[in-house]
Chain A
Amino acid sequence: MGSIRLENVSKSFGEATVIPSLDLDIEDGEFVVFVGPSGCGKSTLLRLIAGLEDVSGGRILIDGNEVTDTPPAKRRLAMVFQSYALYPHMSVRGNIAFPLKMAGEDKAVIDKKVGDAARVLNLTDYLDRKPRQLSGGQRQRVAIGRAIVREPTAFLFDEPLSNLDAALRVNMRLEISELHQQLATTMIYVTHDQVEAMTMADKIVVLNAGRIEQVGSPLELYRNPKNLFVAGFIGSPKMNFINGATAKGHDAATIGVRPEHIALSTSEGLWKGTVGVAEHLGSDTFLHISTEGVGNVTARVGGEFSVRHGDTVYLTPEDGKIHRFDADGKAL
């Protein structure tokens, strides 16, 4: 079991309020991603759940039991740190065994569990190495190994992939997702990368300045962002926001159109513009277009689309894919 419930949780450091009062429910077995720009309080929120920081107000419940004043060691949670936080003076085996040793397990049990974890994570050949002799990806796996041997109620990940290079990041993303499928344990994952959030999460919690902007499944957030912040944060490339007369025409202060929801043509369309930069990726083409009366717009076309800097193109937003926002940024 691993349901986590936050009630009116708030946190301030001295004068500075990092998290105003906030409520959140996490179901057992869910993969929840906290996402937001840096400084939005997502890591602090994770550390509050872990017990590495005290809450300034409110309650935290795990499986219905209040743990607000329980020290981290007794919350039965496991955490994977951004820096991996491996113990440099212990071998891989020592690192993975450490939580079991702290729990006072038998030597035989420890050996078996460490062996199992190493097999799952492809670390069997490296058990006697020191962390500094491992590559970034291997270190990451040791950190995960150290977390899984404890069979915790929930896993906490604090930006675990941000120190890896791009290719490895994609691999580890898949591995963590697979791990979640296998273990079916609650996982809370903090990242600033919306791609990680979209690809891994059952449920995304978008945070901004300590407040929850929206909670929902990846596609819910993509389809129906509640406000300008979520609309701009989820999706890549970013949603185009258009103000002024064009927006007024849709009875809104601002309208938003995703780059992939714009039809492009060299001959006819609603808005006329000039290509500034064309990024040809092969599978997609991203065009940065300055459009008369509408402003700068990014558009995405599947496959190849042969235009160059200075060419004239016509843009038409797809019907029913236009997001409307009021003057406060709320979705209409």
Chain B
Amino acid sequence: MATLHTRSSARLMMAPAVIMLLVWMAVPLAMTLYFSFLRYNLLTPGLEEWVGFFNYKYFLTDPAFGDALVNTLLLVGGVLLITVIGGTMLALLLDQPFFGQGIVRLMVIAPFFVMPTVSALVWKNMFMHPVYGLFAYVWKLFGLEPVDWLASLPLFSITMMVAWQWLPFATLILLTALQSLDEEQKEAAEMDGAGFFSKFVYIVLPHLARAITVVILIETIFLLSVFAEILVTTSGGPGTQSTNITYLVYTQALLQFDVGGASAGGIIAVILANIVAFFLIRLIGKNLEA
């Protein structure tokens, strides 16, 4: 709804953003795709040759890939479970009036603003250290043997760290959604004789359903790419016990300089992410029309 003049200026104004993103997305992705069919190692330059699906076969049959895939799913699933359930409960709590509500709210969302490398190092050293960590101290206080968290339960420990960072995100979004719930609707339910639990199950939860879906999808996108936490705590180990797909591709590319193999891994990661993105885009797109 506008004149030709405004429409053509609009097109001109949109061009830089569109072109930049197009180049950013299309060119490297095409290159990755191309590399994934080459034998290409940075240590042996000049020996590039076309190898078809060899890299994919190599990557997919590597036992490390299977481990990484399972680890990725466990990490994503574990963090989602903790953050969605914990976030819903925290949101319900923060929705109640109490003294110092605002301050508690600030404390709860704070971990989200902590950069991943800081969070990982603080947890690794000051909490999970087997000798000097706070957990070790607490364990000893109760007469228990301290746990070497990152050595014996690496994936679990990383899941906890990442969940701590993402719990605020889930809480904040669910709280926002909760506060948009019509007060009259809750009152109507109370007039109809609904108690706390039936109110939660029949009124609050359906209202939160969409926000929960959004949380799950967006967290999944970010959690598929967890990297810094692994790099600075366990470097994927011991063995491959805490290696996820992102980290596996990184080692392939920048530690073993195998460009072809890493590219194939990258393409596999893109395909996995696309499956999630497909649902997310549809959800947000639907919302755009409303």
Question: Does A touch B (CB under 8 Å) in the complex?
Answer: yes
Shortest Cβ distance from B4 into A: residue: A54
* A51 contacts across to B, CB distance below 8 A: 3
What's the Cα separation between A51 and B2 when bound, in Å?
A: 9
What's the Cα separation between A71 and B2 when bound, in Å?
A: 11
* B282 contacts across to A, CB distance below 8 A: none
From residue B8, how far is it (CB to closest CB) to chain A in Å? 11
What's the Cα separation between A52 and B5 when bound, in Å?
A: 10
Does A53 belong to the interface (CB within 8 Å)? yes
User: What range describes how many residues of B lie at the interface?
Assistant: under 10
* A72 contacts across to B, CB distance below 8 A: 3
What's the Cα separation between A54 and B2 when bound, in Å?
A: 7
Shortest Cβ distance from B3 into A: residue: A54
What's the Cα separation between A52 and B7 when bound, in Å?
A: 12
* B4 contacts across to A, CB distance below 8 A: 54
Chain A contact residues: helix, strand, loop or mixed? loop
What's the Cα separation between A53 and B2 when bound, in Å?
A: 5
What's the Cα separation between A29 and B114 when bound, in Å?
A: 68
* B1 contacts across to A, CB distance below 8 A: 13, 53
* B2 contacts across to A, CB distance below 8 A: 52-53
User: B1-29 vs A: 1/0 string, CB under 8 Å?
Assistant: 11111000000000000000000000000
* B5 contacts across to A, CB distance below 8 A: 71
Q: Which residues of chain A in 27-82 are interfacial with respect to chain B, using CB atoms and an 8 Å cutoff?
A: 51-54, 71-72
What's the Cα separation between A51 and B5 when bound, in Å?
A: 11
From residue A60, how far is it (CB to closest CB) to chain B in Å? 13
Shortest Cβ distance from A44 into B: residue: B1
Q: Which residues of chain A in 1-38 are interfacial with respect to chain B, using CB atoms and an 8 Å cutoff?
A: 13
From residue A164, how far is it (CB to closest CB) to chain B in Å? 25
What's the Cα separation between A71 and B9 when bound, in Å?
A: 13
* A52 contacts across to B, CB distance below 8 A: 2-3
What's the Cα separation between A72 and B4 when bound, in Å?
A: 12
Q: Which residues of chain B in 100-148 are interfacial with respect to chain A, using CB atoms and an 8 Å cutoff?
A: none
From residue B214, how far is it (CB to closest CB) to chain A in Å? 31
From residue B173, how far is it (CB to closest CB) to chain A in Å? 29
From residue B279, how far is it (CB to closest CB) to chain A in Å? 31
From residue B1, how far is it (CB to closest CB) to chain A in Å? 7
From residue A12, how far is it (CB to closest CB) to chain B in Å? 13
Q: Which residues of chain A in 67-126 are interfacial with respect to chain B, using CB atoms and an 8 Å cutoff?
A: 71-72
From residue B69, how far is it (CB to closest CB) to chain A in Å? 48
What's the Cα separation between A13 and B4 when bound, in Å?
A: 12
What's the Cα separation between A13 and B7 when bound, in Å?
A: 14
What's the Cα separation between A72 and B2 when bound, in Å?
A: 11
From residue B182, how far is it (CB to closest CB) to chain A in Å? 25
Most A Cβ at <10 Å: residue of B1, B3, B4: B3
* A71 contacts across to B, CB distance below 8 A: 3, 5
What's the Cα separation between A53 and B5 when bound, in Å?
A: 10
Shortest Cβ distance from B7 into A: residue: A54
What's the Cα separation between A53 and B3 when bound, in Å?
A: 5
* A54 contacts across to B, CB distance below 8 A: 3-4
| Beyond known contacts A53-B1, A53-B2, A71-B5: 9 more, CB 8 A cutoff | A13-B1, A51-B3, A52-B2, A52-B3, A53-B3, A54-B3, A54-B4, A71-B3, A72-B3
Q: List 12 A-B contacts (CB under 8 A).
A: A13-B1, A51-B3, A52-B2, A52-B3, A53-B1, A53-B2, A53-B3, A54-B3, A54-B4, A71-B3, A71-B5, A72-B3
Residues of A within 8 A of B (CB): 13, 51-54, 71-72
Residues of B within 8 A of A (CB): 1-5
Closest 8 CB pairs of A and B: A54-B3, A54-B4, A71-B5, A53-B3, A53-B1, A51-B3, A52-B3, A53-B2
